[in-house]
Amino acid sequence: MKSQVLSILFMLNGVFSFSPAATTPFVVRNAHHHHTTSTLFYTKNFERAVECASEYGLCDVEEMSKLADELDEYTDSCLYEKDEDMCIKEVADRKDVSEVLRMMGELQLRSDYIKNANLFVDDVKKDAVNNVRDEFVENVLAEGEDW
């Protein structure tokens, strides 16, 4: 009995693989293709990843990083497409979404740095204030001569 259960589990090992994502219980592996399909189980995180990648500023850096990591867990797996050429495109496009999320996160971090801690930006702003003040003083003095 024990050997029968083990042999069944061994045979099923190639048919089912368990996904590390908590929101996707498992992915059914199609034995006739070299990719997996996920028609039975849908991940809301994929939808959120697409939303975040499509609209800058919608998501914070931490969420974008987490979503990119989740997409990267499926590096070479097809989750939707069955055709081999479309599978290759799906994998490439999913990697693209992951890269966009990472770039947007990096851009957001850099923008925050520019707004809050960049020395050059601070110097330019101080210089601009000084220039406005100097122009104002010059205009007042020039108008004073006409009086």
Distance, CA of 81 to CA of 25 (rounded, Å) = 19
How high is the pLDDT of residue 36?
Answer: 45
Tokens of 17: 């693989």
Distance, CA of 104 to CA of 50 (rounded, Å) = 13
Asked if 21 and 70 count as a contact pair (C-beta separation under 8 A), the reply is yes
Asked if 38 and 50 count as a contact pair (C-beta separation under 8 A), the reply is no
pTM for this structure? 0.60
Rg from Cα positions in the chain: 28
- The 10s digit of each residue's pLDDT in 16-44 is 333 333 333 323 333 333 334 443 345 78
- The 10s digit of each residue's pLDDT in 43-82 is 788 999 999 999 999 999 999 999 999 999 888 888 889 9
DSSP 81: -
Cα-based angle 79, 99, 74 (whole degrees, multiple of 5): 25
- The 10s digit of each residue's pLDDT in 120-143 is 999 999 998 888 888 888 888 888
